[in-house]
Structures are given as C-alpha cells and as structure tokens.
Amino acid sequence: MNALRRYAPILFTAGSVIWLESLITVEWTYPYCLDQADGPAYAAQGFPLPYWMWNGVASLEYEFMPHVYVLNAVILFLLFYPVIRRIWGAGFDGRRERLRGLVGAAGALMLLGNAALICVLVASGFFRPTVSLELGEYYRYSDFRPVRIGFYRSNSPACTPSRFWFPNGWQHR
C-alpha cells in the first residue's frame, strides 16, 4: 500500500489517459477516401496518432499497431502529468494518506483493466497486431490527416473524404 501512495499521481495519470484515449478517438482520412477506385476505404482511428483501422475483410477484425498505441499513451501521459501533479500537490497533504492510497489503487486498476482488455482483444482476433496501417500503392501512414473527433464507437469504419486536406484527390502511385 505504501507504493500505491508513493506512486499515486503517476498511476492515476497513466490510468486516466489510457481510458481517455480508449473512449475518445480521432478519425483519420487519406487521399484514397476521395476516389475509391478499387474498393471501399476505411478510416484509421486513434488519439493523438492513428493506430487502428478496420481491415474490411471480417466484420470484427481491426489492424492494430501496438507500438503507436504505447506512444499515444506516453504522449498523453507527458501532457497530463504536470497538470495532475499540480492539482495533486494542492489537494493532498499529510492527513489524506488513505485517500491517496485509494486514488493510487484506482489508477493501478485502470491500467491493469485496460491491459487485460487489450490482451483479450488481441487474443480473440479483434485486434490484429501489425507494424503499419499503410497499404502499398493506395496510402501510406504519412498520408493520414485528422477529420473529426468523437467517442470510440460513434466513429464509423467508413472513411470520410476531405477536399480540405486533399484538394487534388487520390492519384494512383
């Protein structure tokens, strides 16, 4: 319990950003979405960087880049930790050690729960680990541009075309 109290702000920040990232996502578009010549296009998802995309083969299979998922968590942690630490310093003094331990335990449970969920999704085949979301001549990872933000389930797997990002559309490579 002493470790939970000592590392409570770190655990709480890490657990919070992992669940925030799981609930809120950004839809990413690419040039092929404007001219789907060889079949449908699917949106990439992830916040702050895209790390998963419906593969279009089976209804419950998504390409998943675990290294970008971890990078997203690190980026969000580095952005939120100073804020949480500042609030933490103002809100907890020596008399609230028990509450501090409970908050640390909550953060640890959020982290473990999310790790278990990711493991289940990978083991069940829902997430298929991959090195990149790119598809050769159709799109590259560097082509992805954000088009909207929303809750995890509210974003459709269909790709949203964007003339703003790609005024010339898709050109076969």
Beta bridge partners of residue 127, listed in sequence order = 62
Q: How much is the pTM?
A: 0.85
**What pLDDT does 160 receive?**
79
User: Count of CB atoms within 10 A of residue 142's CB?
Assistant: 8
79-88 contact pairs (CB < 8 A, 24+): 80/13, 80/16, 80/17, 81/9, 81/10, 81/13, 84/9, 84/12, 84/13, 84/16, 85/9, 85/13, 88/8, 88/9, 88/12
**What pLDDT does 100 receive?**
80
Where are the domains positioned within the chain?
2-151
DSSP at 135: B
Residue 155 has pLDDT above 60, yes or no: no
Q: Which amino acid is at 60?
A: L
pLDDT tens digits for range 109-133:
999 999 999 999 999 998 999 999 8
Q: In the predicted model, what is the mean pLDDT of residues 140-154?
A: 81
Confidence of residue 31 (pLDDT cuts 50, 70, 90): confident
Q: Within its chain, how far is the Cα of 149 from the centroid?
A: 12
Hunting for tokens 């493991």 — which residue is that? Answer: 119
**What pLDDT does 92 receive?**
62
Choose from 14-28, 31-45, 138-152 the range with maximum mean pLDDT: 14-28
**What pLDDT does 129 receive?**
94
What gap in Å lies between CA 133 and CA 143, rounded to an integer?
A: 11
